[in-house]
Structure 1
Amino acid sequence: MLESTVLRVAELPFACLQDLLRRYDLELHRVEDGADIPGSFWGNPEAGVIAHNVYVRDDTPIHSMLHEACHLIVLPPERRALVHTDATDSDIEEDATCYLQILLADLLPGVGRQRLMADMDAWGYSFRLGSTQAWFEQDAGDARQFLAGHGLLELRQSVSCAA
């Protein structure tokens, strides 16, 4: 799979994505095509974060939107309020973010964990076992523990919207 084939924000109903993030008290904002994405750590087209806001363009990969949103989800509210662009400096929070974004992909019609993990690999995510799926299945116990300890493994049902 090539980087250009990853699933993008424009390919899903925006209201569907907003609904998912609102469940975690986050607001999703669409940025105009060609405009810089506020709070983007890696630069366009990667998603950006500022406090409880996630910023995307139509060409933003779904994996990037989910990843940046999950950075905010794993943070306590007092830390979330201080985030601007760089959401964490903690390895366990990074691992928990990656794990949670895979779980949340299952809640989005037309996405799912298999597609998201393939997109993560295509984009260049790097795990010591070689692939996102191998990490998720064999090496992410610390991430699961972190998420369980923060009540984040109990996911709500899928969002309902036309894919």
Structure 2
Amino acid sequence: MLRLADVDEQVIRNLLRRYALQLEHIAEGETIPGSYWGETEAGLIGSTVFARSDTPLHSLLHEACHLIVLPVERRAQVHTDATDSIAEEDAACYLQIILADSLPGVGRDRLMTDMDAWGYTFRLGSARAWFENDADEARDWLEARSLLPAS
């Protein structure tokens, strides 16, 4: 499973900056603020994504995408749990797969493999099957809000 330490952190910072988000790198062994799942999983508070070197990259991207899909005015209210909306959850999953293609050495194939290994659950049994065959509503939701990066 790819972790923050496996990629160029500056590339991640630049990606997040495009969406007016920040990455705060937490020291090894410290608790990650705003982490819904605890342990090594990324956390959210306001417009900041918190992660350690051992944070799975899919977790960092997923939490960042939760903030990206939120209207900017709602971000300030986020602490740990970004939404209970199924549409926003699906949009975050779809967008994290798309954004993985902009990260050298990552890409959607690797990210979807890591999502499956972590235990994301999709009706069709895998992240790839969902993304390729069942994610039309998530893509349409993102397109309606102009949240998909230009191809």
Do the structures match in fold with TM over 0.5? Answer: yes
Deviation, structure 1 residue 16: 1.1
TM-superposition CA deviations, 1:55-112 (whole Å, max 9, x none): 0000000000000000000000111111000000100000000000000000000000
> Do structure 1's residue 43 and structure 2's residue 68 form an aligned pair?
no
Aligned length, in residue pairs: 151
Q: Which amino acid aligns with 1:62?
A: L
Give 2:68's aligned residue.
Answer: 73
1:59 is aligned to 2:59: no
The alignment yields a C-alpha RMSD, in angstroms, of 0.8
Partner of 1:93: 88
- How far 1:154 sits from its partner (Å)? 2.9
What secondary structure, in the 3-state scheme, does the structure 1 residue paired with 2:24 have?
strand
Please name the residue that 1:139 is paired with: 134
Shift of 1:155: 3.6
SS of residue in 2 equivalent to 1:34: coil
Equivalent-residue separation in structure 2 for 1:19 and 1:54 (angstroms): 13
Inter-partner Cα distance in structure 2 for 1:114 and 1:154: 18
- Counterpart residue number, 1:16: 11
- In 2, distance between residues paired with 1:8 and 1:155? 26
Rounded Cα–Cα distance in structure 1 between residues aligned with 2:40 and 2:126: 23
Structure with the bigger RCO (C-alpha within 8 Å, sep 6+) is 1
Q: Superposed, which structure 2 residues align to 1:114-153 within 5 Å?
A: 114-153=109-148
Unaligned 5+ runs, structure 2: none
Structure 1 stretches lacking a partner, 5+ long: 1-5, 157-163
